[in-house]
């Protein structure tokens, strides 16, 4: 990143770039505290922005087939690949990412775009989707019904979290564009530099119809006041903000569909049959540490609670502690560093406070509830938190570990007596995005899937045969559902073609068998 005056991030909608009044947010380097950019949407006409997208982007996208939309998505991916090196530099500077962390975000976004480009390509000239087989309704064989999916004619408002300015942007955008729905993305201000750079490159490449893509840098302002029943909201962030969105008077009155991904106390479960030193035990230790430290633990899917048999508490604790001790923390620009800072000092403060709360009922095994002292780094300007592992002794009195998500490199080991106890303790998380189960007893693994399935959006089951080849506890694959019940927001994203459902209206069409047949022949099929 070049040194100079902070960049003033502009918003893009209505076919032009616009800058808001004043400064609403400063974007900083979390290693040294220097201001890299500022953002503001104050005074911008968000009502007009939405209207432009509805009047221009919506008909332009709906006029294209799924295959044609897929080509647009592929073209976006090509633009991003060309500029990848510049994006990595931004991610390191503004998000404090290591190169590996930046790759998770940047390549995750590009990979998701490429996946949906391939997924939509075979749909040829289809503009509608068929969701099931025709059903006969009366004695007359010629009178039937079928459910189809029709693209919504509004705008998809994507409100994203600070931790994935690339992946969060493009995983929503890919599905929205393939569905034929224009989108307006509002990235979290703290890390909006990457989202801004990517959208600017796509706009300059002129690969999308006018109004198909809009960017809001700064506060969301009064945007929710201007939504209609044809629009939709996809939100990733805190449960507190999610509640505000869901309860917004206009959202309620208009019946605006809302998809939420919120807090999540994700779990890793070591099965009773796993012995220390086995490949499955080693895979468990490796994955827990990776999830604690990748992106400094600031992933919605990161492991927060570690469940192990009471008799293996010492073995698991020592193995995790030893592996964590090898993690080099510092400036992500250094080649030897494996974990950088949290994104902002505000996030650091919240994380350290959370560690303190957990430490009220658990002992700290490694790490600290204070910022670490690092050579060459000013603790008054940086946002570092040491990888911190805690250990619960009494599961009957522990409460905070099941209620407090510390959004940083922090996880807590929790002992369980038997599998019934394990399942009950995991359930106290109130619903999560993902849990991973490590074991080689197939009978137990099947029971665990049945017991834990209702509380999670995704289950990763790791046994010896996949210990070295699985995609990872915290890596969201576009083929699989991303979301979770309860405190996780009760939302669903991605999941292959199933992700298109949110952007469509499901309609039951009743009519002649000939009409139903014509619709089937011209539509794409979800199954």
Q: Closest Cα partner for 357 from 393, 320, 403? A: 403
The b-or-e profile of 171-189 (16+ CB within 10 A means b, else e) is bbbbbbbbbbbbbbbbbbb
d(CA 434, CA 453): 10
- Tell me the two tokens of residue 71: 């080509």
**Do the Cβ atoms of 94 and 193 come closer than 8 Å?**
yes
Helix, strand, or coil here: 154?
Answer: coil
**Beta pairing class for 388-392 and 25-28:** unpaired
**Do the Cβ atoms of 309 and 340 come closer than 8 Å?**
no
Q: At what angle do helices 66-82 and 192-205 cross, to 10 degrees?
A: 120
Q: Which residues are catalytic?
A: 261, 300
d(CA 499, CA 502): 6
Largest CA distance in the chain: 81
d(CA 151, CA 483): 22
**Do the Cβ atoms of 479 and 455 come closer than 8 Å?**
no
Q: Which residue has the tokens 């570990």?
A: 401
């Amino acid at each position: 990143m070049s040194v100079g005056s902070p960049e003033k991030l502009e918003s893009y909608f209505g076919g032009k770039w616009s800058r808001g009044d004043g400064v609403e947010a400063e974007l900083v380097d979390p290693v040294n505290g220097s201001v890299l950019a500022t953002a503001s949407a104050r005074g911008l006409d968000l009502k007009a922005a939405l209207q432009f997208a509805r009047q221009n982007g919506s008909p332009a996208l709906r006029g294209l087939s799924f295959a044609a939309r897929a080509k647009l998505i592929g073209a976006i991916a090509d633009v991003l690949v060309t500029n990848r090196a510049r994006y990595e530099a931004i991610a390191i500077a503004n998000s404090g990412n290591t190169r590996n962390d930046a790759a998770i975000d940047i390549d995750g976004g590009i990979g998701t775009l490429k996946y949906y480009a391939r997924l939509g390509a075979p749909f040829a000239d289809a503009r509608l989707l068929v969701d099931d087989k025709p059903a006969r309704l009366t004695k007359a064989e010629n009178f039937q019904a079928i459910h189809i999916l029709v693209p919504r004619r509004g705008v998809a408002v994507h409100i994203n979290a600070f931790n994935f300015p690339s992946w969060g942007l493009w995983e929503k955008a890919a599905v929205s564009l393939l569905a034929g729905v224009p989108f307006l993305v509002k990235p979290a201000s703290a890390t909006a530099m990457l989202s801004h750079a990517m959208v600017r490159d796509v706009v300059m490449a002129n690969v999308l119809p006018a109004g198909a893509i809009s960017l809001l840098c700064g506060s969301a302002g009064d945007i929710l006041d201007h939504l209609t029943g044809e629009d939709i909201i996809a939100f990733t962030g805190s449960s507190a903000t999610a509640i505000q969105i869901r309860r917004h008077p206009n959202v309620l009155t208009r019946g605006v569909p809302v998809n939420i991904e919120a807090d999540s106390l994700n779990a890793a479960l070591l099965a009773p049959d796993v012995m220390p030193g086995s490949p499955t035990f080693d895979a468990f230790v490796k994955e827990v540490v990776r999830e604690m430290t990748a992106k400094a633990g600031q992933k919605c899917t990161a492991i927060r609670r570690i469940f192990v048999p009471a008799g293996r508490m010492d073995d698991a604790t020592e193995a995790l502690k030893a592996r964590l001790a090898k993690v080099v923390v510092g400036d992500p620009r250094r080649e030897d560093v494996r974990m950088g800072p949290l994104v902002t000092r505000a996030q650091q403060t919240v994380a350290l406070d959370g560690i303190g709360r957990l430490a009220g009922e658990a002992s700290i095994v490694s790490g600290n509830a204070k910022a670490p002292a690092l050579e060459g780094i000013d603790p008054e300007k940086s946002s570092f938190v040491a990888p911190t592992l805690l250990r619960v002794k009494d599961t009957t009195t522990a409460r905070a570990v099941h209620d407090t998500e510390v959004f940083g490199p922090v996880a807590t080991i929790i002992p369980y007596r038997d599998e019934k106890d394990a399942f009950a303790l995991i359930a106290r998380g109130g619903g999560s995005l993902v849990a991973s189960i490590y074991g080689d007893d197939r009978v137990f693994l099947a029971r665990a899937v049945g017991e834990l399935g209702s509380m999670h959006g995704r289950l990763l089951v790791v046994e010896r045969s996949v210990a070295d080849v699985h995609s990872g506890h915290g890596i969201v694959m576009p083929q699989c559902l991303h979301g979770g019940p309860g405190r996780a927001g009760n939302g669903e994203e991605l999941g292959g073609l199933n992700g298109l459902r949110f952007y469509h209206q499901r309609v039951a069409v009743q009519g002649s068998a000939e009409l139903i047949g014509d619709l089937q022949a011209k539509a794409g099929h979800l199954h």
